[in-house]
Amino acid sequence: MKKIFLALLLAVGFTTAHAQLTANVGLTSDYRFRGVSQSNNGAAVQGGVDYAHSSGLYLGNWNSSVSTALYPNSSGAQSDLYAGWKKDVYKGLTVDVGSYNYFYLGKDNSTDSRFNTQELYAGLGYGPLSVKYSQSLSSYFGINNSVGTTYMQADVKQSLGLVSSSLKDLSFVAHYGQTKVANNSDFSYNDMNVGATYALAKGWDVGVRYYTNTSTSNALGLGRSNLYKDAVVGSITKTFN
């Protein structure tokens, strides 16, 4: 993945004149990934950095604390690398394709390769609506014989400024996702969340979402329903431009 990042940097020339570099740091009351708590229903610290070029190429890194109960033999840290291309191709219709790679740091600063997961994705966006399809190139978060697992998602983020100009910083958000674990259909499940975000001054954002699981199956074979039970999750994020 480092070679891919270096190649992208060379391709875009890493020039600041035609690019934007941003960073973010945040705190959430429960780190939920595709509906499943990654922090054992506890708080998590998160942050990352993104580089976007005017050509549409982008790359970035995002990190979060995770539960060692869920990821044994790890140091309790997840570090993701991603790269892709995103562009408005026709009158507000946006195409987004790329690769997302999840790594779990080991106690000896190596990675716990059992859980490392690589995905390719393709998505479309138009106005407040976006859809994305992801497929794993590796086993899916430690599940045996799960190469080719897919995740379909649809997301909405709509500013309430349409209702009143005084609400322009308040947005309604909703998400629906479907995980289909390859060769392990009993582990497949659906997830959904709905909520709101509010943009404060100086790059601060706060949000609250209600998470639910629309399936009664054993999500990802975890055998711990408390990890994907219904929950209200709050978060605060600071973005640096």
| Among 214, 200, 207, CA closest to 233 | 207
* Dihedral pair phi/psi, residue 181, rounded to 5°: -80, 120
Does an H or E element contain 3, and which? Answer: helix 2-12
pLDDT score recorded for residue 1: 47
* Dihedral pair phi/psi, residue 226, rounded to 5°: -65, -20
Tens-digit pLDDT profile for residues 43-94: 999 999 999 999 999 999 999 999 988 888 788 999 999 999 999 999 999 9
Q: Which residues are paired to 95 by β-bridges?
A: 87, 124
Spatial distance between the Cα atoms of 45 and 25, rounded to a whole number of angstroms: 8
Spatial distance between the Cα atoms of 228 and 36, rounded to a whole number of angstroms: 5
Tens-digit pLDDT profile for residues 4-15: 455 545 554 555
Token pair, residue 101, equals 């790679």
| Strand 231-240 versus strand 32-33 pairing type | unpaired
Spatial distance between the Cα atoms of 143 and 188, rounded to a whole number of angstroms: 12
Spatial distance between the Cα atoms of 67 and 33, rounded to a whole number of angstroms: 13
Q: Which domain holds residue 207?
A: 2-240
CATH no. for residue 127?
Answer: 2.40.160.40
pTM: 0.90
Total structural domains within the chain: 1
Percent of the chain with pLDDT over 70: 89
Strands (E), 68-168: 74-90, 93-106, 117-126, 129-136, 150-159
